[in-house]
Amino acid sequence: MTDAPAPLADPHLVYDPVAGDGPKDVVILGSTGSIGTQAIDLVLRNPDRFRVTALSANGGRIALLAEQAHRLRVRTVAVAREDVVPELREALAARYGAGEPLPEILAGPRAATEVAASACHTVLNGITGSIGLAPTLAALEAGRTLALANKESLIVGGPLVKALAKPGQIIPVDSEHAALFQALAAGTRADVRKLVVTASGGPFRGRTRQELAAVTVEDALAHPTWAMGPVITINSATLVNKGLEVIEAHLLYDIPFDRIEVVVHPQSYVHSMVEFTDGSTLAQATPPDMRGPIAIGLGWPERVPDAAPVFDWSKASTWEFFPLDNEAFPSVNLARHVGELAGTAPAVFNAANEECVEAFRTGALPYLGIIDTVTRVVEEHGTPAAGTSLTVPDVLEAETWARARARELTDRTASAEARA
């Protein structure tokens, strides 16, 4: 273990690109999404610690984006959709006073990447999907601390991220990886026997594969403990999200896949655990709320007081743990497989899943068709090129093929069901 490469995320190392007094300058990518809105809530409650200099969003919630820009007094606002720029200018003008300068507006598919490289201390990447890879690489190359909530950029571009990241430069924001990050601070790397990643089990915990055949989109979106965006919520229902987190844990902490375990914990109080060689297991626990992990990402190595709610220990509670049903939820083992293949295999897995989730949301694919189709796309992709030689064009080409193939298979499934 001592000869293994240094982990990407190490709580014992602190990377400080801009040392100095005063609030940390922060850029928030995906500001109108679940992570972004909670991060802004945290910033507004801690103006002495954080100052937001730029925001980016896709452009689907212009009124909210303009309100955020005005409240935070940011220098720059970036939107991926160029067609919404006139609406954004109008919304900003309606909120700013006469003669008050409006923030700079960047628009287009590279807008988030541009602000990720702008002058700041920390970039919070809260974008959903593999489109977060370019901003992740830009932030790392520019020397910013990266608070990473966009797991997909690490999944699809692991070797690219590892080649750029300096020790301590990445702070994980996923609740599970923020938990592992904190628990790992209790020992040395050589002391670690196992990482235990917890899963709520989603809305279908306890159901057999046969019982999952008729579930609806509404069923899949009814997560029992977390309020998240629709894609992540459906990924939690299929446990694809947990599979991605296993790959992410391997990449962040350089722990082999056979020493990363998934356990179902319905209450979502324990966010993950680290088992040490002496038999001790350290668990990180808080009530389900993403503001705690976000505060770790933005504030580390300091903690932000009252960032998230705490337990009321005067009330009785029960915490349960169950083994994962890999027959009903094969996505975790499939993720281990593509993680071990490395190269472009994780990009194929992720891209095919994104297409299949969208097909499920629109009624073109049944729930069980999501992982079945992803499995077939992964199998057809075969053994990828070696991960050490991975390039951004390799990732984009693999994703393009996987999306196209997933759509072809989805169309065939829809046609077959229509004829039935």
Instruction: Return the SS3 of 324.
Output: coil
| Joined tokens for residue 185 | 């601070």
How many other CB atoms sit within 10 Å of the CB of residue 381? 21
User: For residue 14, how many C-alpha atoms fall within 13 Å in the half-sphere facing its CB?
Assistant: 10
SS (H, E, C) 96-108: CCCCCCCCEEEEC
Place of tokens 């190595």: 301
Long-range CB contact pairs, 291-294, < 8 A, 24+: 291/38, 291/41, 291/42, 292/175, 292/178, 293/172, 293/173, 293/174, 293/175, 293/178, 293/179, 294/35, 294/38, 294/39, 294/42, 294/124, 294/147, 294/149, 294/173
| 8 A C-beta contact, residue 40 and residue 72 | yes
Annotated binding site for 1-deoxy-D-xylulose 5-phosphate: 151, 175-176, 200, 223, 236, 241-242, 245
Q: Return the number of other C-beta atoms located less than 10 Å from residue 345's C-beta.
A: 24
Residue 135 near residue 112, CB atoms below 8 Å: yes
Lookup: tokens for 27:
């850029």
Residues 6+ apart with CB under 8 A from 59: 65, 79, 80, 81, 83, 84, 88
In angstroms, what is the C-alpha Rg of the chain?
21
Place of tokens 């628009």: 107
Enumerate the known binding-site residues.
32-35, 150-152, 174-176, 200, 223, 229, 236, 241-242, 245
Where is the binding site for Mn(2+), in residues? 174, 176, 245
Binding residues for NADPH: 32-35, 150, 152, 229
Other CB atoms within a 10 A radius of the CB of residue 94 amount to: 10
As given in the structure block, the two tokens for residue 240 are: 């694809």
> Which residues, in sequence order, are CB contacts of 66 under 8 Å at separation 6+?
77, 88, 91, 92, 94, 95
Angle, CA of 117, 297 and 53, to the nearest 5°: 40
Q: Is 229 exposed, middle or buried (0-12, 13-18, 19+ CB in 10 A)?
A: middle
Contact in structure between 58 and 80 (CB atoms under 8 Å): yes
